[in-house]
Amino acid sequence: MKKILMLCLGFFGLYAREIAGKVPLVSKDMAPHSGGDLLVSSQMIDNILHYQTWGELFVYLQVHWFRLLFFGITVGVLVVFLLHYLIIGPKKFAHSGKGIFVYSIFKRVVHWAAALAFVLVIPTGFMMIFGKELGGGDLVLTARYVHSIGTVLFIVSFIPMFLMWLIPMLPSFDDIKWFLMLGGYLTKKKVVVPAGQFNAGQKMWFWVAMLGGIVMIGSGAMMYFQDFHLSILDRFGLDQIDLIRVAAITHNFLGMAVAALFITHLYMSLFAIKGSLDSMIDGYKSEDEVRYMHSSFYKKLKKEDKI
């Protein structure tokens, strides 16, 4: 065993020479800038010079802002919805009749696969952010593993979901009108809301979850794999460790947006519109609900004589 260790250290010595041969000329009190072809676990001194760029920014954000922002945004979103529920209250629609078939079994399966992924990823993400309060150790370590497992499930559900909803999720003029009246959520009255199959709020969630999701997967993968080599970095003169630092910063900020919209999605489907969850269970949406909440879609169906 020791012989193997010595041999490996010998190889490491050779590797260190290899590394050293590639660094540009430096003075003794200045660390060199590596070509970016070093792995973090073995690179060392190369970090020092460029530490001020991304290293210090990461430390500053992690120490002062990330936890505070996550806490503030989560509590803020929850309080807003609690007030909305108490003051304005949920919307109720007649659920008589057969309803309109909106989600095929395939769409529902894909949706629930992604939903399970989010249920695994988002709470475990919060567990890591507030790991101090949970005392760290095995509980938070397990959360870290579950966070990765949830990601795999998200990757699987990502492509079918993106393709099946891409067209109806494209922006339309209804979205501007929807935003101007905030989807009719600020009034107790039943108002006709301009929206196609999906309203602007749903579209916002879709695009943050999809495009944001790609960035979250990418930045998360960088942190997960840690020792990887991207030759493209050499061209940009970026250190691999700096790329991971940027990834961590991005992952945190984007995580705030995803978490906020995820809570919004839960509130809307579970509380704000009574019975709206049914459409994701049996595929049928109440006709009354479609008439008001997706008026353009309703008109289109009427015109095509589908109702």
Partner 1 sequence: MSYARMKFYCDEERCIECNGCSVACAEAHELPVGISRRKVVTLNDGIEGKEFSVSVACMHCTDAPCEQVCPVDCFYIREDGIVLHDKEICIGCGYCLYACPFGAPQFPKDGAFGTRGVMDKCTMCAGGPEETNSAKERELYGQDRIAEGKVPACAAMCSTKALIVGDEQEVSKIYRKRVMSRGKGVQSAPYGWSTAYGN
Does 8 bind partner 1 (CB under 8 A)? Our answer is: yes
Contact 247, 219 (CB under 8 A): yes
Closer residue to partner 1 (CB): 64 or 299: 64
Size of the site for partner 1 (CB under 8 A): 56
Name every residue whose Cβ is closer than 8 Å to that of residue 13 and which is 6 or more positions away in sequence.
none
Does 170 bind partner 1 (CB under 8 A)? Our answer is: no
Give the strand pairing for 284-285 and 100-101: antiparallel
Does 3 bind partner 1 (CB under 8 A)? Our answer is: no
Contact 140, 128 (CB under 8 A): yes
Tell me which residues in 81-120 interact with partner 1 (CB under 8 A).
none
**Gap between the Cα atoms of 231 and 35, Å rounded:** 10
Closer residue to partner 1 (CB): 130 or 236: 130
**Gap between the Cα atoms of 227 and 241, Å rounded:** 9
279: helix, coil or strand?
A: helix
Closer residue to partner 1 (CB): 170 or 223: 223
Choose one: 133-141, 154-162, 197-205, 212-220; the region binding partner 1 (CB under 8 A): 133-141
* Binds partner 1 (CB under 8 A): choice among 100, 244, 272, 301: 244
Tell me which residues in 46-65 interact with partner 1 (CB under 8 A).
46-48, 51, 55, 58-59, 62-63
Choose one: 136-144, 167-175, 190-198, 213-221; the region binding partner 1 (CB under 8 A): 136-144
What residue ranges in 41-199 does DSSP mark as E strands?
A: 100-101
Closer residue to partner 1 (CB): 135 or 232: 135
* Binds partner 1 (CB under 8 A): choice among 121, 140, 161, 169: 140
Does 126 bind partner 1 (CB under 8 A)? Our answer is: no
Closer residue to partner 1 (CB): 23 or 181: 23
What residue ranges in 60-180 does DSSP mark as E strands?
A: 100-101
Name every residue whose Cβ is closer than 8 Å to that of residue 202 and which is 6 or more positions away in sequence.
169
DSSP labels for 240-300?
Answer: HHHHHHHHHHHHHHHHHHHHHHHHHHHHIIIIIBTTTTHHHHTSEE-HHHHHHHTHHHHHH
* Binds partner 1 (CB under 8 A): choice among 100, 110, 194, 245: 245
Does 188 bind partner 1 (CB under 8 A)? Our answer is: no
**Lookup: tokens for 195:** 């929206």
Name every residue whose Cβ is closer than 8 Å to that of residue 180 and which is 6 or more positions away in sequence.
none
What is the rounded (10 degree) CA torsion for 214, 219, 221, 223? -170
Does 228 bind partner 1 (CB under 8 A)? Our answer is: no
Q: Which residues contact partner 1 by CB under 8 A?
A: 2, 4-6, 8-9, 12-13, 16-17, 19-21, 23, 25-26, 28-29, 32, 40-48, 51, 55, 58-59, 62-63, 128-132, 134-137, 140-141, 143-145, 148, 223-224, 226, 241, 244-245, 248
